[in-house]
Each structure stands twice: as structure tokens, then as C-alpha cells.
A and B are shown apart, each in its own frame.
Chain A
Amino acid sequence: MKHLLGIETLSREEIERILETTQAMLEISQREVKRVPTLRGRTIINLFLEPSTRTRVSFEIAAKRLSADAINVSASGSSLSKAETLTDMAKNLVAMNADLLVVRDRTAGVPQMLAERVRAPVVNAGDGTHEHPTQALLDAFTIRQALGSLDGRRIAIVGDIAHSRVARSDIYAFTKLGAEVRVAGPPTMIPKGIEMMGVKPCHSMPEALDGADVVVMLRIQRERLAGALFPSVREYAATFGLGFQSLRYAKPNAIVLHPGPVNRGVEIAAEVADAEPSRILDQVTNGVAVRMAVLYLLTGNHS
């Protein structure tokens, strides 16, 4: 059985194989008729047990551009509210001859658990604070598109590193592709021992962005975290928010990424999010292509 559960277990060659396929998929999205017949007659189920707009729509569009039938299932209104277990629900969906499951859940390890129990490939669309592999793949693709390669590039990831599945997947992907990665945020958001992932922890923007080719800003969950992990949103924005002032520490033509949804004026100033260095909308465009690549490479790969 073959799945995409995280970046941690992928080799550099496997990542590059997906990114190369993504290049061809991107061309399809630029056509007038944005559809190829590859997955005609295949059924892909998007099991989104945590709210998501962008990622769910991105997977749905990706499936449809490959001519697959995409079915969306969300937690509310599903039989989970009748106390059915997740495994039972997934097994029932697969019993309807689904060819692939895309799974998003707020608990780490759920995609892995389902992959071990159902007879279909599973793609992790984000599980708790564990991994979000397709986000990291689209980030890596966007960086390659702008800079050619990640080898030897300096990449700063700023925000709540400890609770971010995007940060974890990005760190695995970027280091495997040869980049030098720094992480920054308030001490409460930098996990102890992060050096073991091969990255350098920093405690200020000048230190983190010094000579950076790429700056990845993470979303601050203001409603959940303000007052717990940092004193106030204003103080966070002043210390670790990205404005044109702090962007000056990076290389002159550095690019800025953000996985969305953006808190304008918190982790990133509105004028930076909309300006030339920002690749935020490219990330969204590339996200569809990356997910097409993953669905193409995995669908129907039963053991």
C-alpha cells in the first residue's frame, strides 16, 4: 500500500519526482479546457474532519482536472455525530470502491491510522500539529519556480514553529532539498531540541532573516494563542511581524511565502502580502498542481 502521510519518510528523489510531475500539471491548469482524462472513472473521497476551505477546494479541483469523481465528506452532518468510529466510517467509504482517501483531521496520526486499516491509498491533508505534506511540496515548488533550486538557499520560517504542521513539513522538505533553514518566533513557540531537525533557532527577525532568500511567515492563531504564548497581538506584530522594515534584513530579491489564511497586520503587513516579493497567490495556484501530481502518482495503487 502506498500513501502520502508526511515528508519525513520521503527521500529527496521521491520529492523531486513529485515536483517534476507538478510542472506538467501546472501547464494543464493554464489551458482553456483544464482537464485531462487520466483518472476517468476513479473515485476520490475528501474526508475533511477539520474545517478547511482552501485545501479542500484545492484537492477537489485537482481531482476534477484529472477527471476523477471527487466526493467531499465533512465531520458535521456525517455519521461521526452518531458515534460511529472514524475507522468504521472510512472502511464504509472505501467499501463503496473509493480509489483514494484524502484525510484532514485535528489529531496527529489519524491519516497514518486509517492507512493501516483501509484498503486504499491515503493522502494526509493536514493532521493536528504533525504534518501537512502537500503544503510543503507546494512551498518547495514555488521556491524552485522563483529561484531555480533550493540547494544552498537560506530559508527563514517565522511564527509558531511548535504548533505548526506546515513548519514541520517545510523543515523536512527544505532540508532534504539542500536548503539552510532558520526558524524564529517567541521562545514559547520554538520547541526545545529543534536543532535536531537540522535547523537553526533564532530569537529575533534580524537574526532569522539575515541573508535569507525566502521568508515563510506562519499564521498566528490569535484567537487561541494571544495571552497564552505571547503577551498581545500588537506586541507579536511589532516583534515578529513581517513589514518592509524587517524584510530589509533579507536579500534584496527575497521572496515571501505564507500558507494562508493571512492575518493582515499580525504576522504580515498588508502591503507586504500584496507586494512584489509575495508569492502567496502563486502558492495557491501551485497547490492545485502539486495535488494533481500526488493524486496521479497514488490513485489506484492498491497493494
Chain B
Amino acid sequence: MSSFDTETDRGEKASRVSERPATRVVMDAAAIERATTRLAHEIVERNPGLAELALVAIISGGVPIADRLAQELKRIDGPKVFSGALDVTLYRDDVMGHGRRPIPQPTRMPFLVGGRRVVLVEDVVFTGRTVRAALDAVLDFGRPESIQVATLVDRGHRELPIRVDFVGKNVPTSRDERVELQVNGPEDWRVVVV
């Protein structure tokens, strides 16, 4: 029954701490703070009034970023925005590959998607395959007025024609590097390239 193994992380964004080759910090806590504040303002600018806006985090990396954006939007524009979190595991194009299956987390969409402006929130956008899966997943919940994508980091190397609407920072990388958002406490955030 080794297919029921307990490890859940997948390669792309796994937050492994065990091996530590050359790690460089590309965003510290202050830089992340500035970037999320700016992202929030850009989202407001593009979606005035925020009335139909819904922030949907892509689980799991997008969740802390979406939380920050929600707080920031509330400060800028007052009313609470709708928030959800989407697990895209069951929509991925690589999930049925050989090897152990990742464990999906429950999706939370506590609002009607139909007619809303959905902003998908991710920590790092890379090949575009996760965003592609998220687009399909959102559309299973209804017909939104639009879908936009906000990410803290865009590291390039798209494999699909997917573009991002709001970018915190473009980080040039080589394909075999790993980029991760590390959240070690309420204030101790950083983005590292490994």
C-alpha cells in the first residue's frame, strides 16, 4: 500500500528545509509588505468599488498572500471583500502521473462565483500550469464576470499561454532553481531562490 504514503509535498514549490545549497533571499519581509500593498492598490484601481470582487487564494502558497491583500483592500476601500481558497490538485494535468498522489485540501468558495470579478492569488507563478488548473476549477463554480491573476513573484518560464495581471516582483531564474515563499511567523516572511 505504498501509494498511501504520507508525504504530501510536490516538487515545484515544496518548502523543504533539509538540504540547503546556495540560498539567496530575493524579497525580505519589508519588500513583501511593500509589494502586497502596491498589489492591493493596483487591484482597486482596476476594479473600482470592489463590490463584485472576490479574492481566491490558490492553496497552499497563495493563502498568506490573499490574507494580506484582503486586509489591505479593507484598509483602502472599507467593505469586506469575498475570500475563498481553491485546491487545484484534482485539476492538475500531472496528478495522475506515476508515483504518489498528492493529498488535496478542501476548497472553500463561500460565495456565488457567477457575475463576480475573481482575482486568483498565488505566491509564485512559474510554468502557468497551476494557474491553468485554477481557471478550470473556478469555472466549475459558475460564470464569473472576469478572472484576473495576482502573484507575489513571477519567475517566468511559461509552458502555457498564461499571463499575470498583477505582479509583486519579477524574479529572473533558471529553470532548475526553486523559488519559495517562507512564512516563519507573523512578521518573518521572505522569498528565497534555492
Contact = CB atoms under 8 A, between A and B. Distances in A.
Interface residues of B, number: 23
A24 B104 contact: yes
A264 B127 CA distance: 57
B105 A24 contact: yes
Nearest to B136: A37
Interface stretch (B3-11, B35-43, B166-174, B178-186): B3-11
Contacts of B89: 24
Contact of A27 (B91, B103, B106): B106
A24 B107 contact: yes
Given A26-B106, A37-B91, A31 B140 contact: yes
A280 B2 CA distance: 32
Interface string B82-117: 000001011100011000010111111000000000
A282 to B, nearest CB: 16
Contact of A2 (B1, B91, B107, B136): B1
A13 interface: yes
B4 A14 contact: yes
B96 A21 contact: no
A33 B141 contact: yes
Contacts of B136: 37
Contacts, number: 71
B4 A17 contact: yes
A31 B89 CA distance: 17
Label chain B's interface by main secondary structure: loop
A36 B4 contact: no
Nearest to A5: B1
A17 B103 contact: yes
B3 A301 contact: yes
A54 B56 CA distance: 36
B136 to A, nearest CB: 7
Given A24-B107, A31-B141, A296-B101, A38 B96 contact: yes
Contacts of A18: 4
A272 interface: no
A237 B127 CA distance: 63
A119 to B, nearest CB: 15
B3 A298 contact: yes
A101 interface: no
Q: Which of A4, A298, A301 has the largest count of B CB atoms less than 10 A from its CB?
A: A301
A36 B3 contact: no
A27 B107 contact: yes
Contacts of A26: 106
B4 A297 contact: yes
A24 B141 contact: no
Contact of A17 (B5, B95, B96, B108): B5
A292 to B, nearest CB: 9
Contact of B104 (A13, A21, A298): A21
B90 A38 contact: yes
Interface in A1-43: 2-4, 9-11, 13-14, 16-18, 20-21, 23-28, 31-33, 35-39, 42
B96 A39 contact: yes
Contacts of A2: 1-3
Contacts of B6: 13-14, 16-17
A277 interface: no
A17 B8 CA distance: 9
Closest 7 CB pairs of A and B: A14-B4, A24-B104, A36-B90, A27-B106, A2-B3, A38-B90, A13-B6
Interface of B: 1-6, 87, 89-91, 95-96, 101, 103-108, 136, 140-142
15 contacts: A2-B1, A2-B3, A11-B1, A16-B6, A21-B104, A23-B105, A23-B106, A24-B103, A27-B108, A31-B140, A31-B141, A35-B140, A38-B90, A38-B96, A297-B101
Interface of A: 2-4, 9-11, 13-14, 16-18, 20-21, 23-28, 31-33, 35-39, 42, 66, 296-301
Given A37-B91, A38-B91, 10 more contacts: A13-B4, A14-B6, A17-B4, A21-B104, A24-B90, A24-B104, A24-B105, A37-B136, A38-B90, A296-B101
